[in-house]
Structure 1
């Protein structure tokens, strides 16, 4: 008999490379075939309309919604129920389920995705006639929801213009529960030679054969389907929006291309089915590690979105139609219809509406925004110490060192391999001694061994996923060999999982006492990845808590793992500190539990480029704390590529270098010159900009607007920018970056949507767009980075070994005046570790530059000021002299750099105070004023006046 190790050696070559044959196409998925076939049949029949209709609801004029019965001319004896509810902010929720069916459809996706039941609107006026019900609402009374009764169609209007249409093409189809005997009868009737369309319309509607109703085979695996067919099909149309975004995670353009019609780029629909895809393609609709069923639709006049709260495998066809709209067709394997319409009308509105449903990314630990160094694997305690020493010797800043799976004895997580890591606590404390952290991997699979206390206890608690029989424990294969998986849908697993992360308990049998409270956690393989399973994941007929099949909950599975890990890490301390958790698999709402990365990318220029698009798409999907592995997980990138990739990483919210076990070591200190110094400069640039990143995270944690902002988000009325996904803005800071993702590039063209001055971040050179373009030099030692006129950028310029050591460093303010001579910016600070900000322990300053003009003589003076934004927004029980503000009371602003002055000032001084030391230089009409040490503190109100006349 083969040992687990032998089995894995035989298996690994097949899983460590992408093979299309490992994963289904739509044509190999029974329910997707059925859904697409329905769409094709409907197009062939010009008179086709949906068989679903509803009973006119009983409505009082001001109630928020209604419930009514749904009838199907195809299934006259099957009962369905429809709920249509209007919530606050104009969000519309549409639910449909089978009533009193033979079985129950999965209806708990929103239990995990939503932060609570959304509040009902109290601003609705309904009218009903024999054909439709219409609701008018909104502050301007310009929103209308029209529900047509027969056939059922639901349309959202704004200002009389269609925004979203459900079932407008008649593709709604909820496969009802039945018995095999019912299906055989249908076959028998058809076999009598009767007309399919006249006598057995169900056969035309569902197809004239039972296509994978009760079982389905893919490769060597057979998926039994004891509940029979239960798929859900729905067409969602955006008649007046030419671009759609979202539905991460896919390696493709931000503006999603067509999968059907004459402009189709792909032949398969986009798939949402969390999967462990090694070496994934850089341009494909293939499903990857996470699934967020959220789609934005955008035009120059409005933005809307749909959140289709379903947890099962889903395929989405997209068709860009000639008249400028987009038709989509969503085909899901199981679950109820539960769709939220987010009315916008701006991108920012949609982000906030979605955040109010599913939550925002929490304010992360400040150190997690620094640079993370990882590979599979640092092999010993001495290796970790040696890597840290080399970073210090070569003056590279770094905040976090990571350990992959080889730290664990026989891949038994929480248990150290004492041969290579004999002193894990001492090693970790050595890293922490210079204000750095460690992140350690904990995967969801448990080695099935009675000498592994975690598995033994989970088995005793009966909280492991069960096989299709519903008895015992499911056994699959992963890194430890024979493995089982904790069922995080089971409430009995939650306290157990939290107990494992405790570091101060005497019950060391299943507590991670050989750790510290500062250690971050890396949740990998949580799709879940099963090496010997269908599509390298868990069989769909496995059983979870509540009797639900894995098919029902697959896309939520990884989210729950990260959810409970986040809670476990948070519970290590009292009062709790902000944990750091990185997850590979995710679902709607996963943003509440930490960061994600784009998985096992390749060290190629194409993967570098698509990684930017994927991070942007994740931000659109509500998951902003995202990044791609710098350098690529697989391969050995050449130095030029690695330098460019560090720029991409430095301008990603999550910034980590990572590499496969078979790659050469590529820590930045190993590079030859000039590449070594170039990467050092890039890392220092990231650290100098940490105030920008942390301030952007504060805004995102409140509003849900992503940290990396695509062109369409910044300029929603500019059609020419809607498809741009190779440049982006960082929060509302005014920083615009266009990373270089091709070999040998010497210059780049940056698209500018406005008649505004932009300044080169490094040279201070002003640029005004010509034909909406700015051309910038982009040699290897140059980063195409611009400051938008009207912005103030706060930075900390002192090189440090790690970010916590910067706490008392002074600030530099870059003040980039716009064409009117004004600018604004802000900086947000707190202790970066605790939740003290919730009670007002913050420093949140707003900076402004206001110019006064003399008639016909340009700018006469510029007043640069600092005000307390926390007072104005009433953060918690805020006191300007709060504990944190006192702790950083000595932090000063050491330099002001003013860009855009047309001439040398006459004087520069504190308002009501003395003259300051300053220098002014002008080249080619570009004036730069540097005010040295204005002797002001970051916690205070102050003003500096620059007089030009």
Structure 2
């Protein structure tokens, strides 16, 4: 297969393309000058320069595969690449191996690293049980992804900084001549140091960037690589007439971020998905350093379109996973097999959360809590921001305003509600503060570049240091701080919010940590920057598990920063958005992109964090938020109070109705999140995920699916009285039902009236959705309520749906204490059966109502166990309503329809 002579690196694609035989706007917005672009970073400019010129002429280094080194070893294709920089040959080692579930992995490292420095490889992201196995592979077949087809592979070897050459003294210089001055070496731009504004970045091992081009053959749409404020289908950054900043992945605290920008935000997941009418494939670039991605279009000599991408990272190993699909659902499974699925949330966390910066004291909390009750609005969690602490010392309370925090929490808990407090990673440098004194004495802080002094920066408490959460010892120590005898005033109903964990350093470069700061094992911050918040999130969640080990309580921790694998830990949100219609609109593509990249438990601050929304914007935002995974209202310190009842009518009624609607669909949300633990599929999905062959849907971001059952089209423009709704599918089989009116629609495009009270939501024909429709104060109070089954038939008169049930809070579902059931209507029978007979949970709930939509004829009788059931038939809606069948939700049963 490989010739016995040196092969140019572009032919490395031969090895990479094996196909496994077993699978086929505020007035003052963000100050952009404070943040870097590709042109401010030498590593990005060096790599990107190659992309716009002749690679053979402009590449700083030449690379060739050493053909004699290539061999199959333990199920891997391994070999060596020689890097020729004009003086010394540097040898790189590569391996290609097939992983279960249709994934190929390609990794490149130095064969002989420096004695004092090894190239950083990302830890703690991949699951432990990823093992290769022997597969027969071949090059033939239809091409889906092509690596290095444009010859942009780039791997800068690490080096030790040389001493400047010294002049050779001339003992007898001619009279009047000076000895020759020392000759300075020619140093490429940014090789040993770099400056940005007033900040200096030392580079003790020189340039270490990596880069490679990846072509998605036959595709015109790529998605993912969150977090950005651009469209769902990623736009081009290069091409004819296009030369804008590449997409940047570098976790940053971007205050008042702008829209439609490729600049970095709070989190980074280096996963890109390509989809066309024939296939879905993906690329996972496992690197936690600063990364840029260019996107462009190309066509081959047969006019076949492709998406070209160019991946550039400042440092780290080249560790690339090719996910071969070929369907969207297979991609989600493959990625989940690498980085895990979403942690099953407690049910309360899927309810409504009320937050602002800040509820000022215990009486304020009490009044807000009572306001929800007096206005008949359910909610589950009230939040406290940084002002609840004693001078921004986390794990403490402001004794003047929150003198009895445990009593405050218990007064909320009586109604089965929870509380969340914020705990950030910056630690106030105060020797009388026990967290700081212990961290200092235990040597738990990130170090400056000298490796000795604690790193210091400015954040909310003033002078602060930052715990080194990359160290397992520090993570364990941090987790211990959540014990009730340490976090004084905390109770079992108190949960946590991790903010500012990019990390945010107010006086640091780009409001972040210096890249040459040192972590555990003398790893530079540049190597793992995008994982800092991930490790912090991990340690906090572990602390909540440990504090409740006797109560077996699943944690809830919200994080702003994230990386690949953060879904295993908890929820995230899209950060500091604004009370503007444009920010409401951009929430759709941002959340959809997060879901595609595995971060499925996500939301955007309802109402916008900055500014003062009017009643219409608030009402529309509540309607949208009620159909997004994480549902929290939040506001800035300077924003006016905006609890729903403060807006008066008709806005109060609209917001109340939206929240109540959210609670009625909690069984669906909980079931979809459980399904994610099985298949990794996002809870909030682009239309093309459910309708993958319809090319007209590939760029649609104005509407989306909740699971496979509901289609949602939020109203996101001021004064919008009508929206165009796309109802996809084959008209011969598919039909849709308005969830408010039960009216049936065939697939097509419709102009739908949207008065203030209306958000267009449709149930898909062929689905069954379980709901709870009794109004309660919180989700816990609904736990024993009966269910309503809403059966929406397709044109074949068939529908199916699933329901997951457990105790809604503990890990006992992992021990079999759950019920996972399927409902199915077919051939005039509605059946309930267990999908997993290992489940032992026995809920007391019953089915109190069944609604069947799209039924072709009026039944002459409906019975259960030969006993007639009372029903009503509505000819105009082709619907049947069965009242009070009172069937156990956890039992097998069959209802017969006679025609």
CA distance in 2, matches of 1:612, 1:373: 21
Matched, 1:917 2:895: no
Q: Alpha-carbon deviation of 1:15?
A: 14
Q: Which residue does the alignment assign to 2:193?
A: 215
Out of 416, 425, 443, the residue aligned to residue 397 of structure 2 is 416
Matched, 1:933 2:884: yes
CA-to-partner distance for each residue in 1:860-886, whole Å, 9 max, x for gaps? Answer: xx2111111122xxxxxx25xx3x31x
Out of 99, 109, 115, the residue aligned to residue 111 of structure 2 is 99
Q: Which residue does the alignment assign to 1:477?
A: 458
Give 1 or 2: higher helix fraction.
1
SS at match of 2:469: coil
SS at match of 1:694: helix
Out of 527, 531, 548, the residue aligned to residue 502 of structure 2 is 527
CA-to-partner distance for each residue in 1:814-839, whole Å, 9 max, x for gaps? Answer: 11110011111111110011111111
SS at match of 1:560: helix
Out of 515, 526, 529, the residue aligned to residue 490 of structure 2 is 515
CA distance in 2, matches of 1:53, 1:537: 39
CA-to-partner distance for each residue in 1:430-477, whole Å, 9 max, x for gaps? Answer: 111100000110000000001110011011100101111111211100
Matched, 1:766 2:747: no
Q: Which residue does the alignment assign to 1:358?
A: 339
SS at match of 2:101: helix
CA-to-partner distance for each residue in 1:637-677, whole Å, 9 max, x for gaps? Answer: 11111111111111111100000000000011212101101
Q: Is the 8 A contact 1:106 1:335 kept in 2?
A: no
SS at match of 2:105: strand
Q: Is the 8 A contact 2:713 2:760 kept in 1?
A: yes
CA-to-partner distance for each residue in 1:10-40, whole Å, 9 max, x for gaps? Answer: xxxx999510011011111111111111222
Out of 57, 77, 86, the residue aligned to residue 89 of structure 2 is 77
CA distance in 2, matches of 1:618, 1:567: 23
Q: Is the 8 A contact 1:16 1:278 kept in 2?
A: no
Q: Is the 8 A contact 1:391 1:398 kept in 2?
A: yes
Matched, 1:121 2:133: yes
Of 785-794 and 37-46, the range deviating more from structure 2? 37-46
Q: Alpha-carbon deviation of 1:179?
A: 4.1
Out of 223, 226, 229, the residue aligned to residue 245 of structure 1 is 223
CA distance in 2, matches of 1:306, 1:352: 14
CA distance in 2, matches of 1:753, 1:210: 55
Q: Alpha-carbon deviation of 1:614?
A: 0.7
CA-to-partner distance for each residue in 1:612-631, whole Å, 9 max, x for gaps? Answer: 11111011111100000000
Matched, 1:295 2:272: yes
CA distance in 2, matches of 1:863, 1:915: 14
CA distance in 2, matches of 1:328, 1:739: 32
CA-to-partner distance for each residue in 1:249-272, whole Å, 9 max, x for gaps? Answer: 0011111000010264x6100000
CA-to-partner distance for each residue in 1:240-293, whole Å, 9 max, x for gaps? Answer: 2211111010011111000010264x6100000000001111210010000111
Out of 648, 653, 663, the residue aligned to residue 672 of structure 1 is 648
5+ residue gaps, structure 2: 1-25, 167-185
Q: Alpha-carbon deviation of 1:429?
A: 0.8
5+ residue gaps, structure 1: 1-13, 125-134, 137-143, 145-156, 186-207, 506-510, 852-861, 872-877
SS at match of 1:78: strand
SS at match of 1:410: coil
CA distance in 2, matches of 1:662, 1:392: 26
CA-to-partner distance for each residue in 1:682-706, whole Å, 9 max, x for gaps? Answer: 1000000000000000001121110
Q: Which residue does the alignment assign to 2:175?
A: none
Q: Which residue does the alignment assign to 1:574?
A: 549
SS at match of 1:86: strand
Matched, 1:380 2:380: no
CA-to-partner distance for each residue in 1:765-786, whole Å, 9 max, x for gaps? Answer: 10113xx313322111111000
Out of 151, 156, 164, the residue aligned to residue 145 of structure 2 is 164
CA-to-partner distance for each residue in 1:325-369, whole Å, 9 max, x for gaps? Answer: 111111111111111111111111111111011111111111000
**TM (normalized to structure 1)?**
0.87
CA distance in 2, matches of 1:787, 1:491: 47
Question: Cα–Cα, structure 1 residues 114 and 38, in superposed 2: closer, same or farther, change >3 Å?
Answer: same
Q: Alpha-carbon deviation of 1:108?
A: 5.0
Q: Which residue does the alignment assign to 1:261?
A: 239
CA-to-partner distance for each residue in 1:705-750, whole Å, 9 max, x for gaps? Answer: 1001111211111111111112111113x11111111111122222
Q: Alpha-carbon deviation of 1:222?
A: 1.2
Q: Is the 8 A contact 1:106 1:336 kept in 2?
A: no
Q: Which residue does the alignment assign to 1:901?
A: 855
Q: Is the 8 A contact 1:263 1:320 kept in 2?
A: no
Q: Alpha-carbon deviation of 1:177?
A: 2.1
Matched, 1:427 2:408: yes
Q: Alpha-carbon deviation of 1:90?
A: 2.7
CA-to-partner distance for each residue in 1:77-113, whole Å, 9 max, x for gaps? Answer: 2111111111112311111111223367665544221
SS at match of 1:339: strand
CA distance in 2, matches of 1:90, 1:70: 26
Q: Is the 8 A contact 1:105 1:335 kept in 2?
A: no
Out of 66, 78, 83, the residue aligned to residue 54 of structure 1 is 66
Q: Which residue does the alignment assign to 1:277?
A: 254
Q: Is the 8 A contact 1:50 1:172 kept in 2?
A: no
Of 88-97 and 583-592, the range deviating more from structure 2? 88-97
Q: Which residue does the alignment assign to 1:202?
A: none
Q: Which residue does the alignment assign to 1:152?
A: none
Question: Cα–Cα, structure 1 residues 44 and 84, in superposed 2: closer, same or farther, change >3 Å?
Answer: closer
CA-to-partner distance for each residue in 1:471-509, whole Å, 9 max, x for gaps? Answer: 121110000000000001123212211210001x3xxxx
Matched, 1:716 2:692: yes
Q: Is the 8 A contact 1:797 1:812 kept in 2?
A: yes
CA distance in 1, matches of 2:510, 2:60: 36
CA distance in 2, matches of 1:72, 1:111: 26
Q: Which residue does the alignment assign to 1:140?
A: none
Q: How many residues align?
A: 847
SS at match of 1:409: coil
CA distance in 2, matches of 1:279, 1:913: 64
Out of 185, 198, 208, the residue aligned to residue 230 of structure 1 is 208
CA-to-partner distance for each residue in 1:315-334, whole Å, 9 max, x for gaps? Answer: 11111224421111111111
CA-to-partner distance for each residue in 1:47-70, whole Å, 9 max, x for gaps? Answer: 99963323344545x952132111
Q: Alpha-carbon deviation of 1:901?
A: 2.0
Matched, 1:550 2:504: no
Matched, 1:869 2:822: no
CA distance in 2, matches of 1:295, 1:487: 30
**TM (normalized to structure 2)?**
0.92
Q: Alpha-carbon deviation of 1:164?
A: 1.4
SS at match of 1:89: coil
Matched, 1:67 2:78: yes
Q: Is the 8 A contact 2:389 2:396 kept in 1?
A: yes
Q: Is the 8 A contact 1:103 1:227 kept in 2?
A: no
Question: Runs of 4+ in structure 1 displaced over 4 angstroms?
Answer: 14-17, 43-50, 103-109, 182-185
SS at match of 2:887: strand
SS at match of 2:124: helix
SS at match of 1:55: strand
Q: Is the 8 A contact 2:804 2:818 kept in 1?
A: yes
Q: Which residue does the alignment assign to 1:828?
A: 804
CA distance in 2, matches of 1:943, 1:104: 70
Q: Alpha-carbon deviation of 1:753?
A: 2.8
